[in-house]
Amino acid sequence: MKLALVQLNYVIGDFDGNTLKIIEQLRLAQRSGAEVAVFAELAVTGYPARDYLEFDDFISRSEECMQQIAAECHGIAAIVGGPSRNLTGRGKPLFNSAWIFDGGQVKQLVHKSLLPNYDVFDEYRYFEPATGSGVVEVNGTRLAVTICEDIWNTGDIPLYRRFPLDEAFAMKPELIINIAASPFHYNQAIARRRVLRDNALKYKLPVIYVNHTGAQTELIFDGGSMACDSGGNIREALPFFKEGMKIIETGESWYNAPVAPEVKIAEEVRDIALIHDALVLGIRDYFGKMGFGKAILGLSGGIDSAVTLALAAEALGPQSVHGILLPSEFSSDHSVEDAKVLAVNLGCPYEVIPISDTFHTLESTMQPFFKDLPFGLTEENMQARIRAVILMALANKFGYILLNTSNKSEAAVGYGTLYGDMCGGLSVLGDVYKTDVYRLAHYINRITEVIPMNSIVKPPSAELRPGQKDSDSLPEYDVLDQLLFQYIEKRKGKRELEAMGFAPALVARVLKMVNTNEWKRYQTPPILRVSPKAFGMGRRMPIVGKYTG
């Protein structure tokens, strides 16, 4: 069978734009001789539409667009994801459906059976699970049509009791189609390959998989649509983080194929190139889809702001990213020079706005109330908040969006000033541990030195008091990040962490910092998600609670 795998970057709620894209690609697929064009899960609405799905008008608009697409399906069939109404009188008002079009009309609806309700997913909030499975015949070929999670019930301990493909298999399909909205994290592409292989081997059928690409606020979709034969061998694939179409033709060689090698996931191995590309796409789509043109950020001469500036410059163009140097009396000369060199290397405009006079004015204002208490954390935070006031003033005056530069290690332990360096419209590195920020810096410098080497090798410091270093307040990052990974991503408790060799005092200290700073993370900007467990919608912890692992 000749199929078109269509991987697109949709905009949530942009019915006209999404429908136009689908129809354009549908016509191109028809001219290429495809019998059926396959689009992604909830393509017409974009994913995740969240509480937009509770608006009747939103669903009506989606249905109207589906009729427009159906009218284009003469001489070609199409599978397009979108919501459909549950007319049974029981359960949730909607199904998450695959709409199958042929002959200028809706031929069949296949509903999603397995609704994920973990991490970033909350589909059971909106959708009713299907009670049956869908096999549809197109041009004499029987297609088992599934939607994302429907093929993920694999492994030794399945997550669900139902196996939709087991039910569909009784209807003797010849090909498995899976339309998906599967967001990126650094191991997800490998996990998908394993899932496709498992299903291909179990049912001895080829599997066709089509995913979204593009970013939707914090969620980044990497695409990576692919087709594998009955042995689980990837025969065709689309690129990561890009739109595209791939015409494939399944034939005899796709069946009774040799078994592909087992797919193994090294959970602590992170492909820094993929993370880099994901963050660039996340920035570009956040600005592009919101209609923003220019970014601003504070440049300290340190590695976090340097990496953020480099990523933003690649995403938006150097002239659209403004670096603001805000030195205090505690800032070293080399930090200021490093920040200037970085901006020049990237071609980004920059300004220098010293904050010492403003800080001393604020100190004088507060002195009668602070009395004779010594300089401390309060004064450090005052400097950070002065910087934030200046950055936000520039953002308001000139229409910039402020990029937050805090990394995941800092966010985890609360090493940041609320309404200071933790403010912004988008957190670029909030799901990237400090040790991986260093890896990103080296990756950015892989061809030539963009980020000054001094920014990479010098001990990290907030430079808010004389001689300050991060290590004065935190464990060394190589140890801290390992412990945080086990606690946050792997959900290891105190006793398990101690059994792994972490010092009991260190475990108690770090876990307390993570848990007692949840209130800060509730007030931070959206964080671009690149890990399996990011702060934000995918990690839901109480602010008030005594459990510390």
Instruction: Return the domain boundaries, the chain.
Output: 2-252, 273-470
Among 82-86, 157-161, 221-225, 314-318, name the one with the lowest average pLDDT.
157-161
pLDDT in tens, 134-191: 899 999 999 999 999 999 998 888 889 889 999 999 899 999 999 999 999 999 999 9
- Determine which of 51-60, 369-378, 387-396, 467-476 has the lowest per-residue pLDDT on average: 467-476
Catalytic residue among 65, 148, 348, 423: 148
The pLDDT of residue 500 is above 70 = yes
Residue of 406, 428, 377, 381 whose CA lies nearest to 302 = 406
Model confidence at 393: pLDDT above 80: yes
pLDDT for the residue numbered 221: 98
Give the whole-angstrom CA distance, residue 121 versus residue 13.
18
pLDDT at residue 331, rounded to an integer: 73
Tell whether 298 is in a known binding site: yes
* The residue to which tokens 């059971």 are assigned: 124
Residues sharing a CB contact under 8 Å with residue 451, sequence separation 6 or more, in sequence order: 303, 306, 307, 310, 342, 345, 441, 444, 445
Query: What is the H or E stretch that residue 28 is in?
Result: helix 15-31
Please state, in angstroms and rounded to a whole number, the distance separating the CA atoms of residues 468 and 158: 50
Topology of the domain covering 2-252: Nitrilase/N-carbamoyl-D-aminoacid amidohydrolase (3.60.110)
Q: With a cut of 80, say whether residue 215 has pLDDT above it.
A: yes
DSSP notation for 264-333: ---TT---HHHHHHHHHHHHHHHHHHHT--EEEEEE-SSHHHHHHHHHHHHHH-GGGEEEEE---TTS-H
DSSP annotation of 133: -
Angstrom distance (rounded) from CA 382 to CA 215: 35
Query: Is 148 annotated in the active site?
Result: yes
pLDDT of residue 458: 86
- The pLDDT of residue 463 is 64
Q: Which of 211-215, 239-243, 267-271 bottoms out in mean pLDDT, i.e. has the lowest?
A: 267-271
CA 155 to centroid of chain Cα atoms: 25
Residue 100 has pLDDT above 90, yes or no: yes
Provide the pLDDT confidence category of residue 468 given band limits of 50, 70 and 90: low
User: 302 labelled as ligand-binding?
Assistant: yes
In CATH terms, are 2-252 and 273-470 the same topology?
no
Among residues 21, 107, 112, 434, the one annotated as catalytic is 112
| Helix H or strand E encompassing 498 | helix 494-499
CB proximity list for 87: less than 8 A, separation 6 or greater:
none
Read off the tokens for 20: 């136009």
CA distance 419 to 150: 43
Amino acid at 274: L
User: What is the pLDDT averaged over residues 486-501?
Assistant: 96
- Residue 372 is classified by DSSP as T
Q: How confident is the model at residue 270 (pLDDT cuts 50, 70, 90)?
A: confident
CA dihedral 373, 377, 383, 384 (to 10 degrees): -160
118 is in an annotated binding site: yes
Is residue 300 part of an annotated ligand binding site? yes
| SS (HEC) of 177-237 | EEECCCECCCCHHHHHHHHHHHHHHHHCCCEEEECCEEEECCEEEEECCEEECCCCCEEEE
Burial 292-302 (b: 16+ CB within 10 A, else e): bebbbbbbbbb
Q: What is the value of pTM for the model shown?
A: 0.95
Please list the helix, strand and coil fractions of the chain in percent, rounded to the nearest 5, in that order.
40, 20, 40
> Considering Cα of 317, then 306, then 444, then 242, what sign does the dihedral take?
negative
CATH class name, domain 273-470: alpha beta
Q: Can you give the pLDDT at residue 462?
A: 62
Q: Which two tokens stand for residue 287?
A: 């600005």
**How much is the pLDDT for 49?**
97
Which residues lie closer than 8 Å to 274 by C-beta, 6 or more apart?
Answer: 184, 186, 189, 222, 240
Q: Does residue 301 have a known ligand-binding role?
A: yes
Mean pLDDT of the 70-76 span: 97
What strand order describes the sheet that includes 350-352?
A: 350-352, 321-325, 294-299, 400-404, 426-427
Question: What's the chain's average pLDDT?
Answer: 95
In the predicted model, what is the mean pLDDT of residues 432-448?
97
Ligand-binding annotation for 461, yes or no, is no
Q: Provide φ and ψ at 155, rounded to 5°.
A: 95, 175
Task: Report the residue count for the chain.
Answer: 549
The predicted-structure confidence for 318-376, as pLDDT tens digits, reads as follows 999 999 999 988 876 788 999 999 999 999 999 999 999 999 999 999 999 998 899 99
Give the number of other CB atoms < 10 A from CB of residue 91.
Answer: 12
Contact 101, 111 (CB under 8 A): no
**Does 304 appear as a known binding residue?**
yes
* Stretch 233-256: mean pLDDT: 97
Tell whether the model's pLDDT for residue 45 goes beyond 90.
yes
Is there a contact between 298 and 404 (Cβ–Cβ < 8 Å)? no
Q: How confident is the model at residue 464 (pLDDT cuts 50, 70, 90)?
A: low
Q: How far apart are CA 549 and CA 538, in angstroms?
A: 19
- Residue 381 in marked binding region: yes
Is residue 431 marked as binding? Answer: no
pLDDT at 545: 85
Helical (H) or strand (E) element with 111? strand 105-111
